[in-house]
Structure 1
Amino acid sequence: MYRQILVSDADHLFQRILWRFDPREAVREYVLSTVVYGLSCSPYLAIRVLRQLARDEGARYPLAARLLDCQTYIDDIIGGTDSLEEARELRDQLVSLLKLGGFELRKWASNSPELLSSLPASHHQPVSLCGDDNPSLKVLGLQWCPLRDVFSYRIQVADRTCTKRNILSQLDSLSLVGYCLAMASRWRRTDFVTLRSADTVQPESGSAFEASVDPRLELCSALLLAQLVDFVRSTIASELTITRVFAWSDSKIALSWIKSSPHRWKTFVANRVSLIQDIISPSSWHHVAGSSNPADCASRGLFPEQILIHPSWFCGPPWLRLPVEEWPTFDFTPGDDLELERKPVLTCVSTPLVDSLRELLTRFSSLRKIERMRAYCYTYHARTLLTGYGQREVFAGLMKCLRNGKLCPKPLRSLAPFIDEHGLIRVGGRLRGSALSFDAKHPLLLPRDHRFTELVIEKFHKENCHPGPQSLLYQISQQFWILSARRAIRHTLSQCYRCFRVQPSCVQPFMADLSPVRVSQVKPFAHTGVDFADPISITLARRRGAKTQKAYICLFVCMATKTIHLELASELSSDAFLAAFRRFVARRGRCTDMYSDQGRNFVGANRLLVQYCQQSADQCEVRWHFNPPSSPHFGGLWEAGVKSVKIHLFRVIGSQILTFEEMSTVLTQVESILNSRPLCSLSSNPNDLHSLTPGHFLTLEPLSAPPDDPLANLNTNRLTRWQLVQQLHQHFWDRWHQEYLHQLQ
């Protein structure tokens, strides 16, 4: 058959072979032009050609065309008719139709010798002898005896280890498999069965027992039956028309599941019931007693000799041959196992609208999602409903006043609120004559502390690509007026994860305790930190061609009050620093402790000071404290002072080059500005005292003054003029303790 089917010229190259007819010849390359054996596509091509032939010439040979289309398996054609005349007509049409495609039929076989009499003997199918000397041939795995027109099975027992796999390989009949395995399953502790002969199957060992079948397995068998019915019905649709189907089962629970709605059962049962009902109507299912069920012959198991004489297997129950009206009716009552697969029933309880809105606002974090859910349930705008809920929950008193025509509370009176046609509170304002939209002129009033307000801010924040507070406030004000809007926006934006990721804050390490000199009440500059700033360019005279040179800013900072003193030095040597240090002491008084890094000018100055103090009988002793090497963070106080000086200095002079006197004057002014900075936060109340500054500690005391008695708690009427001045100075230190010192935590 394959050799009669040509392959397309474009596919010839895929069937290339190498061949030589004699080992002494050279290997030659051939291309096969017909369908070849061994390719996975070959059976399809053969069947497709036969169907195309039936489609092209089916009008001339209708009987043969229907047979080729529905009853052909590869190169085997199986058919039949009700009379010899019809069989001859079918035979002649088959021969003529296939001859048009270049096919010649061989291996004819029939249960009627008259049908084969006109065919050559070489075209007949050779037959073999069965056990009873009747000739037979093999058709799709079955043995068919043409003379008796019966099907049979031939089993050859092999001398191999008795296992389930070997037994199944010896049995061609699925019914025999069912009988033998069912018999084996009725015996306990039986893993294998022994096939003694063609008609006897005996268990090796064990004792009988009765086992109950899971109703879900019965349901699976009902699904298998439904699929089998559907397959048979579609296969023979061209030959027979089935008008009514009767499906039987002896499982009461499975039938109860099939005859009810699938939604009542759990997933496993519901899925299979739905498939069964799609194939076979629930009204077509009926109950049959186990004693009348032919399927029990295979499921419970029978010996081979019992099969041959069992009437129920071959003919079914006796009442099946009666009219449908005379069939017995089997009533059944489902057992308690039916409830095991019942799906739990969900009861819906309606709740008040306010409680449902509160749950939505609390449960979901997206205003858009809440609006979609509410809009699905209500016909009007969901945002109107949510806004009204938030206003009724917070502004109930205001709403009552507006409806009764009374004055609204004083904090909201400047907003001129009113109630619109939807019952929502809007801001009146003075923009009625503008060209803005109604929502922009009269935005909806929202409270600051409410979940709906937070969702509104989050929605606008995400829709506008996470803008800053000011831009976000502008966008929201087009539709809503939030009380204390900036505070509400800052609170909501502080919880935005994306904004936090793109603007991370530095992690502040745990700070050590401040040294005692930072938190002790002492005379200004008693404990002083010193450092040099970067070099700056100055000139010695203001004339043409004057040369520039470097100068350095020497900064002294009080460790307790942050007071700053600036000196200009011509170089970084120890002598230049000592000169600046003498000017500092002459104007600010002596200091007891000096703090600095380990610069060589500072180390040399300390050595010179120690030498000078020894020569002057220790009258000017100064203790010097050096930071560890490469530790600039130990001097954060004077490093911050240097930064502040640079900011003011560069903003004033820019790129100008000043003379020595001009630079000294500018540094003095910068010093004055820095010493006027407040140490504490400013108060917006004009009646409060002026903020405390470092400059308050530089006056009201001589450069070398003895300690005074505490006068802060005494009545001013009892004080002398000098004591009154001392009390004012002590008052600054009290404020230093109360307002500034606790901010150093």
Structure 2
Amino acid sequence: MPLKADLSTEWHIIAANITDATMFLFPRKYTASTPPSENAVTNLHVFADASLKAYGAVAYLQQDQQPASLVISKSRAAPLKQITLPKLELMAAVLAARLSDFVRTSLNIDCTLYLWSDSQIVLHWIASQKKLKPFVDHRVREIRLVSSCWQYCPSADNPADLLTRGISAQQLASATIWQQSPSWLRLHDQWPTWDPSSEALLTQLQEELDDQPIDQVSAHSAHITPTGISQVMDIAKYSSLQRLLAVTAYVLCFTQHPNNTVGHLTPSELTMAKLKWVQAIQHEVFSEEITNLQSRSRNRLPLVRQLRLFLDDHELLRCGGRIHNAPLSELAKFPYLLPSKHHFTNLVILHTHVAQHHSGVNATLTMVRLQYWIPSGRQRIRSLLRTCVICRKKAGRPYPIPDPPPLVKCRVNAVHPFEVTGVDFTGALYVRSSDGERKVYVCLFTCAEISSKIDAVRQCYHLFGRRRGTAEFTVIYSINREPCQERRFIPKRAPWFGGFWERLIGLTKSALKKVLGRTHATLESLQILVTEVEAVLNNRPITYSSPDVDDPSPITPAHLLYGRTITTLPYHDVTADEIDDLTYGSESEVRRRAKAQTVVLSHFWSRWSKEYLTVLREFHHMTGNNVQTARVGDVVQIHDDTPRVQWRLGIIEQLNKGADGFVRSVQLRTSTGTTNRPIAKLYPLEITASETPSLNSDNDTSRETSIGCSETARPIRQSAKRGLIGVVSVAYITVLQPLHLTWLNG
């Protein structure tokens, strides 16, 4: 479709101008042919200008009193969202600053930089030390990073003006100011001057500000000058509102009556001290709002409009509203305005929180708003209440625990049974005897919890070695210092660090409780029951039981010892012909069966690796939240099976990192010595060691346990249900009689 006649004519004019512009020639040398003198000074001049359609900048190099040379120019279209001309001039100034930095970096020359603009408002913004709007402040900061040496240039002598209003190729060819810059640029004494304090500029700047909506002003200016009582007292030295007001009241009484003795303070004196602090803080933080209210301008700041601020008879900022007729006190209907992040505000909130018996956020906020209005008050109160030590002692949370680490090699490699072994005891059971009731214990050789019955454990250990082999174990806890290669311990009160053997303890206890009930069996009956429990535990499937009869039978822990389930006969059915065969069981037959058994064992380990290890992934729950917050020197509460008010305090002295670099347990210093605990049982108080409260003198009655594998945290006990359940030996140990043992292989 052909263009319209007017558009076609305009396009041909643009094309002709582009063609003519390609014929322009510019000298490539920036300086004259004659070499410069030894004292020659090179100046870089960058001009900026803007219009409602575009803004740009142009740079010139000038040496001594020689004519300047054009270096580079840059222009941009104005934003689609219409903004005022002073802001466009400011954007042009930013472009000029960036262009000057680019030229100096590219040419790598030592030169003096001069930046020029024909906007007096922009020059005033750059030279101003007052608080500016965010839009202006951000760009002024960037300009000042390059240079603060800005000069005023009349619009008629600004070569950047050609970039913003659009000219033809013929006009550009005849514009000598574009190629050689203003004629007065070579003579410093002819440069234009500018008075930043002129009334015309201030009037123009005020009109520009009044025409635009005022942005939200920050409650904290960059430089706050203390006023009023803040010049006499340092509020940062006080941690209690009552003490601050009392000292302030004494100071006021002394200044008013220096010769009189000050006695007890009256409520009116404390109230006057409070109002003095409120007034001083408001004049420090909300000085612009107060000035805006005192002026006759109709344009109010956003905070003034939003909260309907007004000044009362004491020149205090108070908030309005629509509850004038409510049956409330005058202060509750028109509360004082306080800044959110100020130490006095913190003291008010904490004082109210303590007065309300450490109540929650809602109750504290309700009572604070009866006298004061705090912007973002709920968020501020919530953040302060997190630091309340008393509240953290009653409702604080423990340290977050990281995800479980990868399973250690001893749990996924094919090793000899009991090569990784530990010791664990269940609770006491009672059996009947001729002497009455006696205590017996279950000793589980698979984990690392130890009892105080040293003699019984020593005998049990020897008997275990006779039954399962006397080789040195890779990892075992031995109470009688028997030879072993490594001993490892889990932290106290952290059974999930040994989840897979703790799971076996639970299964053993559950089976015994269900069968025995309330009855007290004899030792012989209990030994028979233990043997049956042994068979049940070792025959439980640890892989999926398929409903298809053609699929292999599931793997059980008994396969680790015998290569078969305990309830299966070790040999196949022997026929009558084989019994009468004299060659049956010969050396060749034995070798053939031994070879077949090797194949069966190899097939078993292959199934164990593919069917069992891959299924463990279903029970490994990862959260991805591995933030480490425990630090040396933190004061913590130590979880115990007592009411929380009786929990002991401790200080973290050492962080115990695992193989993956995450901390799951720490060494603690308490009033009774040093101990260890998992971080899941520690509740931080968020106070430093220098503020440590006195530690109580409760005794540490926790047992220390040992681990047969590496220090592996198991926060979720269910994750051990399908963990590597090794072959287990369980023994009953009597305390009052000679040792009686019955073994469970589980």
Over alpha carbons, which structure has the higher Rg? Answer: 1
The structure where helix makes up a greater share of residues is 1
TM-score after normalising by structure 1: 0.26
TM-score after normalising by structure 2: 0.26
Structure with larger RCO (C-alpha < 8 A, sep 6+): 2
